[in-house]
Amino acid sequence: MLNLVKQHKKKALVSLPLVAVLSYYGARKLYNSNKKTIVNAPHMQQNPELPRGCEVTSLAMLLRHAGIAADKMELANKLDKVPFEENGLQGNMQEGFAGDMYSFSRPGLGVYVNPIYKLGFSYLKDQLVNLTGGEPQDLYHMIDRGAPVWSIVNDTFAMLPEERFEIWFTSDGPMHVTYALHSVLLTGYSQNYVYINDPLHETPNRRIKRKDFEQAWIQLGRQALSYKTKQKQTQGQPKENIVVS
């Protein structure tokens, strides 16, 4: 009987380190799943002045974070524009804003990354970073460096069914477009969610499912811009404008 008790104690003692290891990795996994990184970026609403002005409003937020006192109306005025339709052809959104961004009473849709990059470059010069065509991880890398990300998605923040798209015939050929087009400023991410400053939303850092957001971003052509931050960071210390929790 004494031998059995000794063997039981030995097994219990041997299992304690294993339990500790499993508890550590379980807690670490839980921490990683809950950890989020958010950039403290300005939040602006596009309405009522710019019912279709999500792209320039999101750019204004990006520029303000970079220290430039950009006004959404100033950006709307400076942005290149193209007719919504002319000579039987629709406007090319890679050349300018197609139609009217000031009123729903006149036809309009939106703009893609090239005219926004051109406008942003006039303020930020070589500090502006074009992430278009990259991977979702490239966006999160900029967040880690302390810079939010201008992006093109759709207003459902999930992959759209094919019937939500139509073909526009432009001067440069056919273009796949959707009236659900939307632009937001990506401000943060976690394992399961991203955080955005949505110009159609009242509060900053709106939480969206990460997988859905990535699929929507990819579906709309992987269009994104950010900028090179000039902050100096002490090794091991987070940047002042980043919240890690």
SS3 of residue 90 by DSSP: strand
Torsion of CA 132, 135, 136, 141, to 10 degrees: -90
**Residue 197 and residue 61 in contact, taking contact as beta carbons nearer than 8 Å:** yes
Using the predicted structure, report yes or no on whether residue 17 has a pLDDT greater than 80: no
Find the mean pLDDT for residues 84-91.
97
Class of residue 68 by CB neighbours under 10 A (exposed 0-12, middle 13-18, buried 19+) = middle
> Residue 244: what pLDDT?
75
Using the predicted structure, report yes or no on whether residue 31 has a pLDDT greater than 50: no
Class of residue 40 by CB neighbours under 10 A (exposed 0-12, middle 13-18, buried 19+) = middle
Torsion of CA 187, 36, 140, 43, to 10 degrees: 0
pLDDT tens, position by position, 170-190 = 999 999 999 999 999 999 999
> Residue 3: what pLDDT?
58
Torsion of CA 156, 162, 164, 169, to 10 degrees: 130
The total of other beta-carbon atoms located within 10 Å of residue 164's CB is 14
Angle between helices 54-65 and 113-124 (to 10 degrees): 30
pTM for this entry:
0.84
Helix or strand run (H / E) with residue 136: helix 136-144
Reference 127, options 144, 111, 142; nearest CA is 142
DSSP lists the bridge partners of residue 99 as: 108
Q: Name the band, by pLDDT with cuts 50, 70 and 90, for residue 233.
A: very low
CA distances from 55 to 27, 122, 174, 215 (A): 41, 16, 22, 19
pLDDT tens, position by position, 200-210 = 999 999 999 99
Q: How far apart are CA 152 and CA 220, in angstroms?
A: 7
Average pLDDT, the chain: 88
Q: Which 8-state DSSP code applies to residue 84?
A: S
Q: How far apart are CA 160 and CA 180, in angstroms?
A: 9
Q: Name the band, by pLDDT with cuts 50, 70 and 90, for residue 95.
A: very high
> Residue 32: what pLDDT?
54
**DSSP states of 53-81 as a string?**
-HHHHHHHHHHHHTT----HHHHHHHS-E
